[in-house]
Structure formats: C-alpha cells, structure tokens
A = this chain, B = another copy of it.
Amino acid sequence: MTKSTRSDTKSDAAFPRRGHDHHRCVADALSQAEALCAQRGARLTEIRKQVLALVWESHAPIGAYQILEKLAESGKRPAPIAVYRALDFLMEQGFVHRLASRNAFLGCGHPDTNHQAQFLICDSCGSVAELADSRIVDAIADRAGRSGFAVAGHVVEIQGTCPDCRKAAHA
C-alpha cells in the first residue's frame, strides 16, 4: 500500500499521548470491568480488582512479581500464585493481555469485545500500543490458509521506538 500520510489524525491514536489524563484510563478500565463482570456473573474480587488496577498503573507492561511487590507495599504480600490466579482470571475475562516477548501483562483497551490483539512495544520507554489491525490479521489468515494451517490464535508483538521517544531522540 501507500505511505498513507502521517497527517490523518496527526498520528493514529495507537499510543496514548504523553501527559494524558491517565486517571481516566484507570477509572474507565475498572468501571468497565465491574460492569462486564456484573453482566457475566463473574466475580471481580478485591485482589482481582487490585491486580487490575496495578496492571493499569501505566501503559507499559508489568511483570507478575512487580505486581506482587506493589501489593506488598500496600500492606499484604500474597503468594505469587495469588497474583497469577488473578491474572488468569483477568485474561479469561479479556481485561488483561500477556506479552509473550516480555513475560509481562498489560491492561486491555477494549475488554468488551473478543479480539486478537497485536502490540507495538517501545524499547525505549516501555509503553505499548494495542492494535486490532485487520490487514495484519488478514495477511496471517491468508498465509496460513495457503499452507493448509487452521489458525487458532496468534502472538504479534512489534518492537521498536514509539513516536514520543523518536522525537526525544531527534532532539
């Protein structure tokens, strides 16, 4: 395809802007999770909520043991398994993604829909953009199809440098 102007919307909203109101991100994520759990009859227990909040602490992925540390700071130190169990629940519900290339976890930006996400991961600042790119998915489906391979899922994690960090590097 073409180079498709950088001036559509100035940048394709994949990465959250630096300095955005992140409290809003967290609040939205939590309230969406509450709502969806209510709908689904799933139980968003205290530890699950805490883990979800910690995962949403930033747009960079966080490791399970980092979550554990943060929980310890706020009073309790659960066993690792407790964190993993909470993360398993959150992933089942689609509230959290796992980045295989980092062994780390990330809040999902649209937990209401079943989806296969792709990720842009900034090597410099660590922040991640979640994508749902149909061209990538189509290309994968097409190639798999030609090989007679039935696709069940995929891991697409793209490393590089995010727009903000590129600007910073230029300076």
Q: Which residues of A contact B (CB under 8 A)?
A: 1, 3-6, 8, 11-12, 14-15, 100-101, 118, 120, 122-123, 129, 131, 133, 135-136, 138-140, 142-163, 166
Contacts and interface: CB of A to CB of B under 8 A. Distances in A.
B149 A140 contact: no
B147 A129 contact: yes
Given A101-B155, A155-B101, A156-B140, A149 B135 contact: no
Which one of A12, A101, A143 has the greatest number of beta carbons of chain B within 10 Å?
A143
B152 A161 contact: yes
24 contacts: A1-B138, A4-B146, A6-B146, A11-B146, A11-B148, A12-B143, A12-B147, A12-B148, A14-B149, A15-B149, A101-B155, A120-B144, A123-B152, A131-B143, A133-B139, A136-B139, A138-B139, A140-B156, A151-B158, A151-B159, A151-B160, A154-B157, A154-B158, A156-B156
A109 B154 CA distance: 21
A152 B123 CA distance: 9
B146 A142 contact: no
Contacts of A123: 152
Nearest to A133: B143
Contacts of A120: 144, 147, 149
B149 A129 contact: yes
A157 B158 contact: no
Contacts of A163: 147-149
Contacts of A143: 5, 12, 118, 131, 133, 135-136
